[in-house]
Amino acid sequence: DQQVKQNSPSLSVQEGRISILNCDYTNSMFDYFLWYKKYPAEGPTFLISISSIKDKNEDGRFTVFLNKSAKHLSLHIVPSQPGDSAVYFCAARFLNQAGTALIFGKGTTLSVSS
């Protein structure tokens, strides 16, 4: 059973427009949510995170919104650039006495055309 879901496998956007990537989760115990970007043959690169007690976090062109009641978060990229084309993973962090770990969604492939 997937605890973190990215239901859109791909998204195509024109340069300069907004990209919105969505993520849903099922476990109320997650305390942080993170977005990672991954290019082929590279490891995931951290983009932005949000605490479960916040509803918005912004960093430059990237904004993450959290709707805790809907168990839904989204990543907005404005304006989108061709270099943003990559696979975007949503990840949720859980913390227990053994330590912390991330659970990843399946990813959304973003293509930004010029």
Q: Give the footprint of other proteins on this chain (CB under 8 A).
A: 4, 32, 34, 36, 41-46, 49, 89, 93, 95, 98-107
CB of 38 to other proteins, least distance (A): 9
Closest to other proteins by CB, 1 vs 114, is 1
Closest to other proteins by CB, 49 vs 81, is 49
How far apart CA 8 and CA 31 sit, in angstroms, is 24
Q: What contacts 5, CB < 8 A, 6 or more positions away?
A: 23, 24, 25, 26, 105, 106
CB of 23 to other proteins, least distance (A): 11
Residue 13: strand, helix, or coil: strand
Q: What is the DSSP letter of 84?
A: G
Calculated CA dihedral for residues 45, 47, 50, 51, nearest 10 degrees: 30
Closest to other proteins by CB, 62 vs 104, is 104
CB of 59 to other proteins, least distance (A): 12
